[in-house]
Amino acid sequence: MCGILAVLGCADDSLAKRVRVLELSRRLKHRGPDWSGLYQHGDCYLTHQRLAIIDPASGDQPLYNEDKSVVVTVNGEIYNHEELRKKLRNHKFRTGSDCDVISHLYEEYGENFVDMLDGMFSFVLLDTRDNSFIAARDAIGITSLYIGWGLDGSVWISSELKGLNDDCEHFETFPPGHLYSSKQGGFKRWYNPTWFSEGIPSTPYDPLVLRRALENAVIKRLMTDVPFGVLLSGGLDSSLVASITARHLAGTRAAKQWGTQLHSFCVGLEGSPDLKAAREVADFLGTVHHEFHFTVQDGIDAIEDVIYHIETYDVTTIRASTPMFLMARKIKSLGVKMVISGEGADEIFGGYLYFHKAPNKEEFHRESCRKIKELHLYDCLRANKATSAWGLEVRVPFLDKEFINVAMSIDPEWKMVKREQGRIEKWVLRRAFDDEQQPYLPKSVLYRQKEQFSDGVGYSWIDGLKSHAAQHVTDKMMQNAEHIFPQNTPTSKEAYYYRTIFERFFPQNSARLTVPGGPSIACSTAKAVEWDAAWSKNLDPSGRAALGVHVSAYADEATNVNSIVQATNVNSIVPSKMIDTIPRMEVSTSGLKILS
């Protein structure tokens, strides 16, 4: 991931202003340590901190059209750039960068080209011919982006809060799937999929179609000119991504440059569930596996750095970001610059354990839609910033636009948890990859119960955080919390502890408003808390708060744990008849093809 900062129409083209913009841009240098660029046109400044993934030799930014009248600074990857170049045959490209197509698409199609981009991106484009500009963010918000306004009438765009919070009167999260146009004077939504209206879909479940869509999503993300690997927690989502990557790596340009053996990475406390499961998957797939251990104290010592980089005080995000932050540093030290990960599947398929209590398919689907729409505030924010803190890029195939369209068109009745039929959470995804002839994963992993990342790295991690917070936050502090923090008042000592650190780094009211709030159980939205009356008395974002569902639910509150464990035994949830008739797939020069 790169870092971008744009200051537009600031009514100051002095040397002092240029120096200030450079100073602010350097706050994003961790995102792009490979090169820095700044373009100034009058009182407009476009800066870029580059992490070179595609065309490292010549793809420095900002990028330009032929006569340099259109300038763009981009953070992201455009996976269909080669296809788009073919539509722009009359244009001359300066670099081999995937992002080089953006200025030329603007020349050809005006502002209405963003939905042609297949990838993850945030960009600012300046048209020097009339001093107009546009800014846009990818469909789901995989890349982080903020917008702010100065008292002098300037508009600021930055990959992170720290690039603009000290110089803007007001700033906020740039909404995913939107375009900001100076000509129009505001936002307009460019991403309008069918599922966004939350209407209930009715397409029958076809496991082969779903499998093919995910295979395609992973394959297109193997586009790289630098060493890469996969994040492997041992859970279903990351394991499937690793399995698909391992199958299709051999036929890619990346394999020719860096070899055909895949590298996988996992982090956890000694003896944690994720370490054990990831090792099993790595052995099954034959990856070069890197296992990183951390202690509770290691994590606690990193909390302040994590909050500074992640820019949130949300409890579950900080819990999960800390191990990822530590792992990203280790990965980068090995010379790896890009990883592929499994974020997004739980939102799309209702994988969080609280979905077990969905009252009907309509509520199930609406909750899934709500979760996807909020990903940019939680898991996307975590994955993007925890890795970018060390100049590491993360790609997320489950959030591929076409894959989401396929998955969200399935009749949600098929996604519902029905234990009596052997259907646990994410059953449609598990079944799509349950291939007897060419197994993607061991059965024990394919049907492993959902484990949130902050739990899977080791249950004592969260317990240790709570204990640490209790030593620093008194009961009296909690009694006055609503007066100290009237916005999103902390309801636990752990939340209070994180909030005080966040406020030190980002004291502005605009900053605290960028963080979501409200009650949650096991990562649910506030609306889903209504599904079970008992949940309102046990609000905690950990999956272990899903009492009666998680096999290791909080012991002092769960009942009949033995029966729960028995109910979720792998042998009881694996369908009696496995899918052994789905053809296997491989990559050819023309893309994905099915082999009988």
Where is the binding site for ATP, in residues? Answer: 231, 267, 341-342
The HSE-up count of residue 339 (CA atoms within 13 Å, CB side) is 32
Task: For residues 294 and 310, give the distance between their C-alpha atoms in angstroms, rounded to a whole number.
Answer: 19
Q: In what order do the strands lie in the sheet with 70-78?
A: 63-64, 70-78, 119-127, 132-137, 178-181, 186-189
* Buried/exposed code over 469-502 (b: 16+ C-beta within 10 A; e: otherwise): beeebeeeebeebeeebeebebbbbbbbbbbbbb
Q: Could you tell me if 149 and 201 are in contact, meaning their C-beta atoms sit under 8 angstroms apart?
A: no
Closest CA relative to residue 512, chosen from 311, 310, 306, 308:
311
Q: Which residues are annotated as a binding site for L-glutamine?
A: 98
523: annotated active-site residue:
no
Per the annotation, binding residues are 98, 231, 267, 341-342
Rounded Cα–Cα distance for residues 76 and 122 (Å): 6
| Count of all residues that appear for the chain in the document | 596
**What CA–CA distance (Å, rounded) separates 424 from 447?**
8
Q: Which residue has the tokens 């700033």?
A: 171
Residue 562 CA to residue 543 CA, distance in Å, equals 18
Q: Which of 297, 434, 442, 326 is nearest to 387 (CA)?
A: 326
Q: What burial class does residue 562 get, using C-beta atoms within 10 Å of its C-beta: 0-12 exposed, 13-18 middle, 19+ buried?
A: exposed
Annotated catalytic residue within 2, 99, 380, 523: 2
Residue 32 backbone phi and psi in degrees, to 5? -140, 85
Catalytic residue ranges: 2
